[in-house]
Every structure is written in structure tokens, then in C-alpha cells.
Amino acid sequence: MGLQSAQSPGHPDRSALTSGRESAFHPVECQVTWWDNGSMASVSGNAAQGHDSPAVTIRDLFIRRGRTVVFDGLSLQIPRGQITGLLGPSGCGKTTLMRAVVGVQKIHGGTVEVLGEPAGARALRSLVAYDTQTASVYDDLTVRQNLNYFARIVGADREATERVAHEVGMTSNLRSLVANLSGGQRSRVSLAVALLGDPELIVLDEPTVGLDPTLRQELWMLFRSLAQRGITVLVTSHVMDEALHCDRLLLMREGKIIADTTPTGLLKDTGTTNPDAAFLELIARSEQRLEPGHGKHAAQQESS
């Protein structure tokens, strides 16, 4: 849902509710960039061009949970108006990074800048949308009632609810209870809620998890249409073949970015024919480059 309601609100007031294409993937050529210890490197090729400033800039990010360091000096940039995929196995830090971008994750060092503002800044409330892994809608309300409720939160009008329902292909289901929808339809409703504020950046955390291949493909077609409208899409996934739908790829393992590339660049540089094999090759290379205890805050971790 939208950033301003990223943390679930109380149950909605019913009285406030009752009143109321396929596109081909165009790869972006980019030279693969290797990350030895999480430090930021420049990106060459078309992926670094376009807008004057990136949508997201992260510098020297340090986050820990208890005695575990999640990120130790992580730096990266997300370009505007593209689909950037953050891919990696479960538990590598993808969700924590997404939470840092939308400003709901406590950070212990470094900076996260989003659309020129500190992450979580009030000015970003209508500009950044966050769609969590679990569909952030109410099962016992209809699709229309959910949209009306969240529209009131973000200050959107009735026209906006009709627009987002059309964009996600749920116009014919507006009277349906969310509880009676399929998993893919629920994901679409949650995405519609996120789009109510007409955001410039939408953050999607594992949006296709648990969906069959057909539904996954339909959602990716929708993400592509958003990017074609100039919206920056940042999406996480642990399904490596979804890398082929992205313009830009950030491959993560154990809290580190091990490659910053594009789908065509990934396969070309690794000499493989599919993303799964490419990721395994990257792991093998990164293990030769990364040695334990070299992070900026390693001493802090040992002494904590």
C-alpha cells in the first residue's frame, strides 16, 4: 500500500466506505559492475543515463538486528523510470533494504535518500508507495470499499479509485469481497491501493510469490506499463528467472550486492544461458573476492 499507510491502520469505518497490455522487454545495455565489499561503483551504459538524479541513493548503509549485521557499508543507486530488480535468496536482506527505502526501518549508520529527500520524509508520503509481501487489504470488504477507504487516507478522489481499478484490471470485480478473490486478484487490489497516490516510486516486495506462472506474467506486464509511464519500479524476488523482466539488476547475497548489471549483461558476462546459472556463477566469483571481517563495522560486530 502507499507509504503513508505502510503500517496497518485500524479497521475502517464502514460508514465512510458505503458512500462513496502486453509490452516486449527492451534490454538496457550496461556493463556489469562488481561489488567487492558493498562500496558504490559507477554504472556504465544506458542504465546510468536518463534523469539527472537517481530515484534512490544509499550511502554506507549500516543496519544490524541484535548482534547480527545485515548491511555493513552498503551503497547503491536506483535510476528513475525503470524497473530495478533486487534479486537474491530468502534471508539475504531484500526486505530490510526495501523497508529502509520507504523509511520504516531503523538504520544505524549511513544515509538513504529517496527522490531528493531523506527516506520516510513527510514530503514523500504521496510520492512513494510500498506494496508488502502480504496483500495489505481487508478481506471482509469489497474491492471498491477497500479502494474508497485508502483513497480517503491519501486524499484521492473517486476518479482515482476508478482509474487504479482499471489500471490493474479489476474494474469488473469492484463489488467482490476481497476474501473471495484469487491470490493474483488480491495482489492486484493491493497494487491498486499503492497506486492511489499517483506515486513516482513504487516499492514491491516479492509481489509474485506463490502465484502461478500465468499470473506472474500478467503482473510483470503491469509493472512494465508503470515504468513506461515514468514510474520508478523497485521490485524484490527470489525467483531468478524474473530477472529477465527488469531493466536493471541488483543481485544480493548475505547483505552484499554482488553484481549491478542488466539481464543481457548478466548472461553475457557470466557466459550462461539462464539467470539461475548466472547467479551460481556470481556466487562462485564473489566467494573468491569476499573475505570475512573486512566490513567497515566488523570491529563493532565483534565487540558488541
Report pLDDT for 27: 32
Query: For the segment 279-298, what is each residue's pLDDT rounded down to a tens digit?
Result: 889 888 877 765 555 455 54
The tens digit of pLDDT for each residue in 219-262 reads: 899 899 999 999 999 999 888 888 999 999 999 999 999 999 99
Quickly state the pLDDT bin for 138 (edges 50, 70, 90): very high
Q: How far is CA 296 from CA 12, 62, 110, 302, in A?
A: 46, 9, 11, 12
Question: Has this prediction a pTM greater than 0.95?
Answer: no
Q: How confident is the model at residue 62 (pLDDT cuts 50, 70, 90)?
A: very high
Domains and CATH numbers, the chain: 24-122+232-304 (3.40.50.300)
Pairing mode, strands 201-205 and 56-65: unpaired
- Nearest Cα to 39, choosing from 300, 209, 289? 289
Q: In which band, very low, low, confident or very high, does the pLDDT at 155 lie, cut at 50, 70 and 90?
A: confident
pLDDT of residue 21: 33
Q: Average per-residue pLDDT in the chain? A: 81
**How does pLDDT run across 105-119, given as a tens digit for each residue?**
999 999 999 999 999
Count of alpha carbons within 13 angstroms of residue 276, beta-carbon side: 2
> From the CB of residue 140, how many other CB atoms can be counted at a distance below 10 Å?
12
Q: Is the pLDDT of residue 209 over 60?
A: yes
* pLDDT greater than 70 at residue 204: yes
Report d(CA 148, CA 16) in Å as an integer: 8
pLDDT of 150 over the 80 cut: yes
| Angstrom distance (rounded) from CA 86 to CA 181 | 28
